[in-house]
Chain A
Amino acid sequence: MRLSTLGYCLQQGFKNIWRNKLFSLASMATMAACIFMFGIFFCIVENFQHFVKEAEEGVAVTVLFEEGVSEQDIMDIGDQLTKRSEVSQVVYVSSDEAWKSYQEIYFKDAPELADAFVDDNPLANSANLEIYMKDIAEQQNLVDYISSMEGVRKINRSDAVADILTGFNRLISYVSVAIIGLLLAVAVFLISNTVAIGIAVRKEEISIMRLIGAKNAFIKAPFLIEGITIGIVGAAIPLACLYYLYNKLVLYIAVKFDMLTSVMKFLQVNELFQILLPVGMALGVGIGFFGSFFTIQRHLKV
């Protein structure tokens, strides 16, 4: 395509939007609403997954060993477990550290009771490994593997936490896919309507083009440009709003609910937008392109 022809098609595409102002605005607004809701959902899902990840990393499987298993053997087992893909960190807790931690928890208000033990560590056989995981859904596999190892006496784990976190994560994913799918369908429908009206308005011009010998691509290009432009504008506006509002909201929560921020650490807006910006724009352009493309195929048989 010649540069001047491309310029002409672009100009005609923009003119279509202008001639069809009200419908174009309605499409842009709906598209903006869809992408805005998608963005909100994305922020919630991403932040939740971030919380879940942090929580998962805080949940550990504790492995206790039989009497007679040396510190070196435990360390070797720890090294072996570190190499597994689902494991993020393995911490060795010696029996002295275990006893110290026990005292801090249970004898906090009566340290004199602990003094009764003097140098005698009642948890002498409690050297253990705390295993932190990358993905808590893999906990059962890891426990099965550790159970088969020699010298392992007991494995303490938190099934409830693992199940709740995994289940909730899955539920959020399903709900988000369903809502996003619905929003996309609405957006495609609206763009398709706008382009169909544009085609109806320009019916005479299209018939003249055909008679003069315009190629299909030349006739169709302005409508594609119209759809894509609506998509770009409809995506850029809500993304800019989200960028601004997310920052404000996180700041507001940090000031008003500082208790909450100690439990939930929000993602930085730039971290979010590394994915949200290209995905949002691609969605806008994609919906604009396909919405107009299929409408052209249906209404513009040339």
Chain B
Amino acid sequence: MIKLDHVVKSYPNGVGAINGISLHIERGEFVFVVGDSGSGKSTLIKLLLKELEPTEGTIRVNGVHLGRMKRRAIPKYRRKIGCVFQDFRLLKDRNVYENVAFAQRVIVTPSKEIKKNVPAMLSLVGLAEKYKSFPKQLSGGEQQRVALARALVNSPDILLADEPTGNLDPKTSREIMKLLEEVNARGTTVLVVTHDRDIVNTMKKRVIRMQKGIIVSDERESGYIG
């Protein structure tokens, strides 16, 4: 599903964010990527979203060589990847329904389908009754659920979550992780970048630990080491 081969990413100022990593994630896996700030976790997400180009090495997602992908093919590729972020990135001037529908509108989904899919997705994340609320009227956990609904409404093959519980309390964090587990159980490959030791330790999933741009450990059903 995701295959990185000797990937290096260094910035024009010479700073190396990723210093040669190789990685293979199977379809349907749930993977944590952990590490300190500056270890290269977020750069990894950006490379997978093709927001950044690797300086060296190859990245294949769903068998597609990202380095050879044409510019105009990027939107279509990104439609198969859902992503959620620590700061939720919701549109503040639109309500919950519109935020989720937005993801469908940008990929030109017919209105009829949007009207069917959005309520279904809001039910899945437990926000069916708050569809008229605006982001500022929601708690952090609820906002992250909206972001999750938006990421999932287009049925992505992969879900990338960059510190999804970074702004949430422990209880809400556990709820969000439970949702991610459900999404994974439906067949979506989930890759979560996090600092949250408790969650990693509780969930017993594959854990990839990064340090200074390299992978220092990769263990199945592991906890947060280091």
Contact = CB atoms under 8 A, between A and B. Distances in A.
A210 B91 CA distance: 14
B83 interface: yes
Nearest to B114: A4
A79 interface: no
B103 A4 contact: no
Interface stretch (B73-81, B116-124, B136-144, B178-186): B73-81
Contact of B107 (A204, A210, A214, A216): A214
Contacts of A1: 108
A205 interface: yes
Contacts of A212: 78-79, 102-103, 106-107, 150, 154
Contact of A214 (B49, B51, B75, B83): B75
Contacts of B106: 209, 212-214, 218
B105 A213 contact: no
B19 to A, nearest CB: 26
A256 interface: no
B217 interface: no
Contacts of A4: 110-111
A211 B91 contact: no
B89 interface: yes
Contacts of A208: 89, 91, 102
A233 to B, nearest CB: 23
Question: Majority SS of interface residues in chain A?
Answer: helix
Residue among B76, B105, B111 with the highest chain A CB neighbour number at 10 A: B105
Given A208-B89, A211-B83, A212-B103, A5 B77 contact: no
Nearest to A15: B93
B111 A210 contact: no
A2 interface: yes
A14 to B, nearest CB: 14
A218 B107 CA distance: 9
Contacts of A211: 49, 51, 78, 83
Contacts of B74: 213
B168 to A, nearest CB: 20
Given A4-B110, A4-B111, A5-B105, A215 B91 contact: no
Nearest to A1: B108
A1 B105 CA distance: 12
Contacts of B89: 204, 207-208
Contacts of B150: 212
A205 B91 contact: yes
B111 A213 contact: no
Nearest to A204: B89
A213 B102 CA distance: 11
A1 B150 CA distance: 23
Contact of B108 (A5, A205, A207, A216): A5
Interface string A175-216: 000000000000000000000000000001101111111111
Interface string A199-239: 00000110111111111101000000000000000000000
Given A204-B89, A213-B78, A2 B108 contact: yes
Contacts of B79: 212-213
Interface in B32-91: 49, 51, 72, 74-80, 83, 89, 91
B111 to A, nearest CB: 5
B49 A213 contact: no
B76 A218 contact: no
Nearest to B91: A205
A218 B83 contact: no
A5 to B, nearest CB: 5
Closest 6 CB pairs of A and B: A213-B79, A214-B106, A213-B78, A213-B75, A4-B111, A215-B75
10 contacts: A2-B110, A210-B75, A211-B51, A211-B83, A212-B79, A213-B74, A213-B75, A213-B78, A213-B106, A213-B107
